[in-house]
Amino acid sequence: MLGDDKKIILTGDRPTGRLHLGHYVGSLKRRVELQNSGEYDGIYILIADDQALTDNADNPGKIRDNIVNVVLDYLSAGLDPDKVTICVQSALPALHALTFYYMNLVTTARLSRNPTVKAEIQMRGFADEGLPAGFFTYPVSQTADITAFNANVVPVGEDQLPMIEQAREIVEKFNRIYGETLVLPKAVIPENETQRRLPGVDGKAKMSKSLGNCIYLSDTPKTVKQQVNGKMFTDPQHLKIEDPGHLEGNVVFTYLDALCTDRHFADYLPEYSNLQEMKDHYVRGGLGDGKCKKFLIQVLEETLSPIRDARSRWESDIDAVYDILNAGTKRAQAVTEETLSRVQQAMRINYFEDRTIVKEWEKMLKEQKNL
Ligand code: TRP
């Protein structure tokens, strides 16, 4: 199949805020591993500022500010600009053109069925206020993002699976109508179930800025401690240490499921050799929430403190960050323009590449006259 000879990754984020632990365990960590695997011919990370505008049209300043926050989070988490191309969506006009063509290959009925978009429409109150057409159609623009880079691998969080499904349908339709042109993408989601969907510290399904239930990669140790000790939901029936504890919905254990390894026990809590032993003790009774939280904070800090240190180094050189973004975007321009030109060729709307169309038009006009 087209693109089988190369392994190319495209993924991205909307720059609507700083990245949090949910982003880290759900995708960022994986990206760094993929980057270091040396198995890929190209890795592109898109800062989807145009997509972010589809529900922030009145606040472009917020998006502008968060572009730098997201790049800082990327670099601090270990994405290496020598190995990955970080680029800005709005500076890639080929994506807009592709979106416009793909828009004709999907029905409004199909777009209405996208479960992630449906949930987002509810969450944002668009169902009552009126739904911006740009927001409704962003899965089409996301298809443009993916196909423009010829990506066959798209590492994303679970909530993005419907987007990749739609992208695949559009690609198949395009190739059927215009000939084999676009690479069929595949989603890759984390294997560990809790990593796919890390809840907020309060136990709500998702970390969200408005709920104040996030742990940001750039949070200070003090804030992390406050979020865990002050807000993290455990087991409301576990009042005394001796009481038997429950694990379902217990966020401390959900986070440990996502983050801790046996080695963390050896280093910080050697009375257990693994998480199962700790859980068994908690369920039996006799293990207090305070001790569990203290361990979780140690595990969290092991992940967060190198990221935090790297961020403070990058923050002192925003010029360098700008240059990385600029250079990445230039490389991305070349790749996406190339795809657009292949697409226009496949659709035979590449009128001004050469004058072959003149001969064709002449022939057609002659035939028209003889009819
Ligand atoms: N929709 C994605 C999110 O909200 C961000 C995104 C934009 C993306 N373009 C993409 C993800 C292309 C993967 C591929 O997180």
Distance from the alpha carbon of residue 77 to the mean position of ligand 1, in angstroms: 18
Give me ligand 1 centre to Cα 98, in Å.
16
**From the alpha carbon of 145, which atom of ligand 1 is closest?**
12
The pTM of the full predicted model, rounded to 2 decimals, is: 0.94
| pLDDT in 10s for each residue of the chain, 371 residues | 788 889 999 999 999 999 999 999 988 999 999 999 999 999 999 999 999 999 999 999 999 999 999 999 999 999 999 999 999 999 999 999 999 999 999 999 999 999 999 999 998 999 888 999 999 999 999 999 999 999 999 998 888 999 999 999 999 999 999 999 999 999 998 888 788 889 999 999 888 888 899 999 999 999 999 999 999 999 999 989 999 999 999 999 999 999 999 999 999 999 999 999 999 999 999 999 999 999 999 999 999 999 999 999 999 999 999 999 999 999 999 999 999 999 999 999 999 998 999 999 999 999 999 97
Distance 353 CA to ligand 1 centre (A): 32
Which atom of ligand 1 is found nearest the CA of 14?
A: 5
Q: Pick the residue whose CA is nearest to atom 5 on ligand 1.
A: 13
**Which amino acids bring their CB within 6 angstroms of ligand 1?**
10-14, 46, 48, 51, 142, 145-146, 154, 156, 160
Best residue among 8, 11, 23 to mutate for probing ligand 1's pocket (most ligand atoms within 8 Å of CB) is: 11
Distance between Cα 316 and ligand 1 center (Å): 28
- Starting at the edge strand that comes first in sequence, how are the strands of the sheet with 42-47 ordered? 85-88, 42-47, 8-13, 153-155, 186-188
How many Cα atoms within 13 Å fall on the side-chain side of residue 269? 24
pLDDT score at 3: 81
Give the pLDDT score at 27.
87
State how far the Cα of 219 lies from the Cα of 76, in Å rounded to an integer. 13
| Model pLDDT, residue 208 | 84
Shortest-distance atom of ligand 1 to CA 138: 1
| Nearest CA among 22, 15, 17, 14 for reference residue 227 | 22
Say what the pLDDT of residue 127 is. 86
* Sole residue written with tokens 């890390």: 198
Terminal-to-terminal C-alpha distance of the chain:
42
CA–centroid distance, residue 58 to ligand 1 (Å)? 21
Residue 148 Cα to ligand 1 middle (Å) = 14
Q: Which atom of ligand 1 is nearest to the CA of 142?
A: 9
Nearest CA to ligand 1 atom 8: 12
Cα–ligand 1 centroid distance for 90 (angstroms): 14
DSSP code per residue over 109-174: HHHHT-HHHHHHHHHHTHHHH---HHHHTHHHHHHHHHHHTT-SEEE--GGGHHHHHHHHHHHHHH
The one-character DSSP state at 107 is: -
What's residue 193's pLDDT? 79
